[in-house]
Amino acid sequence: MLKILATDGIESSAADKLRSMGHQVDIQFYEPEALKKAVNEYDVLIIRSATKIKADIIDASKETGKFKLVIRGGVGIDNIDKAHAEANGIAVRNTPAASSASVAELAIGHMFSIARHIGIANHTMRVGEWNKKHYEGVELGGKTLGLIGLGRIAQETAKRAEALGMTIIYNKRSGADPAFPNYTFVDMDTLYKSSDFISLHIPKQAGKDYLIGKQEIEKMKDGVFLVNTARGGLIDETALCDALDSGKVAAAALDVFKEEPTKNERVLHHPKISMTPHIGAATGEAQTRIGGEIVQIIEKFFA
């Protein structure tokens, strides 16, 4: 029997499946100091974005050596010190494919929201304003979408955007991908100056505060739309708000923030930002797929 701790929750059918296999599954959130003590009791930790498995927690687990596997239910693993974990005999896994469609649909949804003023128009109507003449938008069809990264989520986003009549350009570190001849690989400067919409699909940059700051924004088209459903901290929030104020950036959509929950008042109250609270994978379908993939990882690892 394995003892499994799901600190940030787990889909109920996955928990039931693991229990039916004879494992103990505890679902409880621990603050970091408490987790240092609890980790010694478990073979497996399942986390999402709220819990961070850093060196101090890994070192604390050495007391018993029981902890052998940490699974991030989602795409990125930047909230896990992977190198330190593996150096101490702890395997790191994630579920990269399970939430791709859900995050891609949210990215497209945010594009519609900022292109057609859906979020702010909904708000102003609820406070008694009828600003019909204020909300002239733009169509997605015929526009160029620049994708930073071309992993699974970006590919799903591109597929949907192409169906809407958008032209897809992209940049990724490994260069052009021959598997996607319909999309055009460009350097970053070309992406910035050519894109009507820019959507980020990369992990957090090691050793960098952000990917897009004042200098990068200055290279962009006037009136560009920015979308970030990837990782908080990729966009300098101060530079973004300044660019929204000046009109350089027409609008932005953020599902992720440098600090979560965000306390940035300029971001929270900016009328040109469409916001959601890190809900990219928050669909029933994605959670079911994530849960199923977690079960498979545990089965395979301890086979």
**Rounded to whole angstroms, how far apart are CA atoms 130 and 225?**
24
* Residue in 54, 53, 17, 25 with CA at minimum distance from that of residue 41: 25
- Residues annotated catalytic, as ranges: 231, 260, 278
Q: In what order do the strands lie in the sheet with 273-275?
A: 184-185, 167-171, 144-148, 197-200, 224-228, 249-254, 273-275
